[in-house]
């Protein structure tokens, strides 16, 4: 399992992913789940992945390979919608290939989900959730974020805090608290966390930041959030209908 979050805000975009994969309690490993494709000054495309690791790695590898020998690739799509459509087709291709080739692997889930986001010059930043079936939806002002993977533990804080007007710094703080809540409640999600912040219309080179167990800001946040929750809980009045 994994946990990934992306936000589309007026200030720009946020992408974050954990790096733990597991196939049982004794098969835990670390893999980066954030992939970046960029043409300086013209486009930035970021993929976050969850699901079958073989599927998601194959999709990313095929997209990279086709940058040089295919008529349609990520660097010549005219819009982020077209990018999401290309990723969706590639996901369907890989899932169909592997499912057909491994008929003996009955019961194996070959599915993979992606968050695809970025900006291409001439249009605003956009993010899409691409499903294993190849179809996709786009974030809106009503729902300016997507989660994939183990999302339920980290969702409440995002729902309470994030709006399209949220700053990138506030969004980053909220996202790290969301990850802390998820890590505390689910062993299949773990550090390090990869995070990328992108300012709208900047087309600046992508500089993802890796947050490890020794990161002082993350440790300050998780301690402060935990203590703050206990303090607020203690300050709330007890019910008066049970004695």
* Cα 21 → chain centroid: 14
Say how many C-beta atoms besides its own lie within 10 A of residue 166's C-beta. Answer: 21
For tokens 């990018």, the residue is 83
Residue 116 falls inside a structural domain: yes
53 closest CA partner among 97, 108, 110, 128: 110
Residue 242 falls inside a structural domain: no
Q: pLDDT tens digit string along 27-67?
A: 678 899 999 999 999 999 999 999 999 999 999 999 999 99
CATH number at residue 214: 3.60.20.10
Count the domains in the chain: 1
Residue 243 falls inside a structural domain: no
Q: pLDDT tens digit string along 122-149?
A: 999 999 999 999 999 999 999 999 999 9
pTM of the model: 0.95
User: Under 8 Å CB-to-CB from 224, ≥6 apart: which residues?
Assistant: none
pLDDT of 104 above 60: no
pLDDT at 105: 54
Domain extent for 134: 3-235
């Amino acid at each position: 399992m994994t946990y990934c979050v992306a936000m589309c805000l007026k200030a720009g975009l946020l992408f974050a992913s954990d790096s733990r994969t597991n196939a049982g309690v004794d098969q835990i490993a670390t893999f980066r789940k954030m992939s970046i494709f960029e043409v300086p000054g013209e486009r930035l495309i970021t993929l976050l992945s969850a699901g079958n690791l073989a599927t998601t790695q194959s999709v990313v590898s095929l997209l990279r390979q086709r940058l040089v020998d295919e008529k349609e690739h990520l660097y010549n799509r005219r819009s982020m919608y077209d990018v999401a459509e290309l990723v969706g087709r590639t996901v369907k291709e890989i899932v169909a290939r592997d499912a057909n080739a491994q008929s003996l692997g009955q019961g194996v889930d070959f599915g993979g989900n992606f968050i695809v986001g970025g900006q291409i010059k001439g249009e605003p930043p956009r993010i899409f959730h691409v499903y294993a079936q190849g179809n996709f939806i786009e974030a809106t002002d009503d729902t300016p974020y997507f989660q994939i993977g183990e999302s339920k533990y980290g969702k409440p804080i995002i729902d309470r805090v994030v709006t399209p007007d949220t700053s990138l710094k506030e969004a980053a703080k909220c996202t790290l608290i969301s990850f802390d809540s998820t890590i505390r409640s689910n062993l299949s999600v773990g550090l390090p966390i990869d995070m990328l912040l992108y300012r709208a219309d900047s087309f600046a080179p992508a500089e993802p930041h890796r947050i490890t167990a020794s990161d002082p800001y993350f440790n300050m946040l998780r301690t402060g959030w935990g203590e703050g929750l206990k303090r607020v809980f203690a300050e709330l009045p007890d019910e008066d209908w049970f004695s």
